[in-house]
Structures are given as C-alpha cells and as structure tokens.
Amino acid sequence: MRSASAHSVERDTAQAAREAYATVVEALGGPPDWLFVQSTEAHAGDDVRRALVELGAPVAHGSSSSAAVMTDAGVHDRGLALLGVHDPAGAYGVGSADLGTDAQAAGERAVTAAIDDAGRPGEVPMLVWMTASPGREEACIAGIEAVVGPDVPIVGGSAADDAIAGRWYQWTRATTHSEAVVVSALYPSGRVASAFQSGYTPTTRSGKVTQAHDRAILEIDGRPAAEIYDGWTEGAIAAARGGGNVLAESTLLPLGRRVGGIGEVASYRLAHPALVRPDGAIELFASFEVGDELVLMHGTHEALASRAERVATDALAFAGVDRQAVAGALVVFCAGCMLALRSQLDAIAAGLRAALGGAPFVGCFTFGEQGCFVGGENRHGNLMISVTALVRA
C-alpha cells in the first residue's frame, strides 16, 4: 500500500484538477485505487467531479472544505487537494444517498452501496469514511451502524463552505450532492490507526439538560440555557442574551459530554454554541436529549495549535504503529478551530507531517467532525480533530 498527496491553488478548476491528479498518478506509477478529494467553494463541486472523472479517476470520494485545504506541504487557501491510495491487494468503494426526510435510512443506503462498490458484499469494512452535509450527522452514523455494526470505526467530517451559507457539496464519480451523505468503505491490505480528540479541558461547571429539542438546548437544570451558560462563562455571551450569534464568543468555551475514556482520563465530545434565541435557548451543531450531562470545556489557542500533532501521535501509539509504517493519512480539523488559528496553520501542518513520519496526508476544515473514541464509540462532535493513518502491512 502506497499513497500520494497533491494540491493546486490554480483558480481554473479543470487545470487545478489536472495538475493535482497528474502529480498523484506520477507518484503512484498509475491511477489510484481510492481517491480522496477536498476543495473549497472557490471550485464548484460538479466542476471538480467532472474534471476528475474525465481524467479517468477511479473510486473517488469528494467534498468541500472551509476556506482552505491542508496537505503535508502546508495549508492552501481556496485550493484543491487529493490523496491517492495505491493498494491492489485491498478494496475500496464509495456510495452516496440524499438525506431526504430520513437521514438514518440514507446512511444505510450509502454504506450498503459503498460495500457493493468495493466488491465485498456481506464483508464488514475495516473503516468507514463519512462525509455528510451539516445537520443530521448523528442519524447518518446510526444508519451506518445499522448495517456494519457498532465495532467498525466511522470517521469523517461534515462538508463546509466559507460562510455557513449552504454552498457545501459532496460527490462521487456518479453524482454531485448538496444535502447528502457520501460514504467510503475501506478494506485496506494493511491496517488503520485513528484517534478522535479535542484540545479542550473540562471545568468544574456542569449541569443536566432538562429541556431540549434536536440541536437546541432550552433549559439546563430547569433554567434557560443561555442564562446558565452566560453564568458559567462569566458573561461571555451577555451581549447576545436577547438573541444573536455567539460562535466567536463560544469557540474556546464549548459544552462537553463525557464519552468513556482510559482509566481516570475521560474523553469528551464537544458541541459548539452557535446562536442564542430570544427565548433563552441555545442552538448548537450537535443534537441533545433530556438528561444529558453537560460540562463547560475550556480551550486556549496554544492547546488547540498543538493538539493535531498530539492526535496523530496518539493514533499511532494506541495502535502500536511505528510512524515509518504510515503510508498516508486523512486529517479532519474543525473549521471553527481553523479560523481561530489562521496564522499557525502551516506550523500545524508541519507538526502533523513530523508526527506521521513525513507520510503524505490531506486534511479538511469541517462543520462537524465524526470519529471513534478510544472506547470504540462512534460519535459526532464539534471543535474536534481526527487523524486516521493508513498503515502498511
């Protein structure tokens, strides 16, 4: 198993695709067996798809990244990036389904199609890579698990645009979507090593959701959610208590829910408060249920900047993998964290490259992150980072 990354900042989409794909094919000595594609809204999704299909790209999984793309060469504003995997002893397939009114059913259809496309019907993949439009990722995960079971890692990142304006996209060789889930079923000849973490620590401030609806928390401990959150954060959202956007104010102060851990060290999945409603409810980018235990999390720019490299290191350590065995990697990095760290992104990419032993990788900046925690729990979260390494046998 070998892989190669490439990128282009050429503004013409067809030319960008030609440049990047030619680099991948030359490095691999032929077409890849699986192609992972990330591009920003500077490139129309269907134009990217059509250009690569015309170039003969095989099994391909594409989606949009917010503002920039990342590779082992750095961060590329308004660019396009490819990771090609050459693995003739493995198998790879891609499937998609529009979300429609039943996102869980869409997840089931997409992963079933991906397994069939890989030519492995009835065989559980080693890893499922998922890209959905933002909004119903939890249901998509449930649908995928209904087909492959709870023990297969589900990893990925939600498609994104530059301004949360709905200009994101997902695509396969056959179709370009705006509100869908695209799934790759991976049966590599080697192994995978993946970690899913945040760069935040829990505070002592906690409470229980006492009223919620989908992605809105109405009450915490029987009081309006915005009132409680504003108190916990010592007035961080005071100016928006009557209603308003709080994305910037809450980036370093998200809400966490414990998801297992190792010994006494807990793991948390995060949710990013986005909007305060006039009724005192808080809308977020993850779903909640009554009874959920919440803890206020705290992050710093320094901790976020160093976290990606640590996640890569932990992914290999947990799996007992030497970094020289890494053939390539996929990185998911929250767009909210990216915006807070714009001046440090190239250093972050360099840290990832070192942690992965110089292996090629492609990273996306996403509006939601999906991954598998150390206890095996597949979850959707916000302000998270995942690193998934493809490891040679």
Distant-in-sequence, close-in-space partners of 173: CB < 8 Å, separation ≥ 6:
49, 53, 57, 58, 59, 60, 94
Cross-strand bridge partners of residue 70: 75, 363
What pLDDT score was predicted for residue 293? 98
Give the CA radius of gyration of the chain: 20
Query: pLDDT of 177-214, one tens digit each?
Result: 999 999 999 999 999 999 999 999 999 999 999 999 99
What pLDDT score was predicted for residue 300? 96
Q: What phi and psi values does residue 315 have, to the nearest 5 degrees?
A: -55, -45
Q: For the stretch 99-119, what's the b/e string if a residue is b when 16 or more beta carbons lie within 10 angstroms of its beta carbon?
A: beeebbbbbbbbbbbbbebbe
Identify each DSSP E strand in 272-368 by its residue range: 273-276, 282-284, 293-298, 326-334, 361-366
- The answer to whether 110 and 116 have CB atoms below 8 angstroms apart is no
| Strand order from edge to edge, sheet including 60-64 | 2-8, 80-86, 34-39, 60-64, 170-172, 176-177
CB neighbours of residue 343 within 10 Å = 9
- DSSP 8-state code for residue 354: H
Helix H or strand E encompassing 260: strand 255-262
Please compute the mean of the pLDDT values over residues 24-49 and round it to a whole number: 98
What pLDDT score was predicted for residue 260? 82
Q: Rounded to an integer, what distance in angstroms lies between the CA atom of residue 115 and that of residue 111?
A: 6
Query: pLDDT of 319-350, one tens digit each?
Result: 999 999 999 999 999 999 999 999 999 999 99
At 265, is the pLDDT very low, low, confident or very high (cuts 50, 70, 90)? confident
**CA separation, residue 184 to residues 196, 288, 349, 360 (Å):** 18, 27, 24, 19
Query: pLDDT of 122-150, one tens digit each?
Result: 999 999 999 999 999 999 999 999 999 99
Q: Would you say residue 233 has pLDDT above 80?
A: yes
The per-residue DSSP string of 131-145 comes to: EE-TT-HHHHHHHHH
Q: Chain-centre distance of CA 43, in angstroms?
A: 20
Q: Rounded to an integer, what distance in angstroms lies between the CA atom of residue 110 and that of residue 80?
A: 25
What pLDDT score was predicted for residue 261? 76
Q: Where are the domains of the chain?
A: 2-197+303-391, 201-298
What pLDDT score was predicted for residue 266? 87
Closest CA to 70 of 371, 350, 388: 350
Q: Would you say residue 263 has pLDDT above 90?
A: no
Q: Would you say residue 264 has pLDDT above 90?
A: no
Q: Would you say residue 252 has pLDDT above 90?
A: yes
Q: Would you say residue 262 has pLDDT above 80?
A: no
The pTM of the full predicted model, rounded to 2 decimals, is: 0.96
Q: Would you say residue 75 has pLDDT above 90?
A: yes
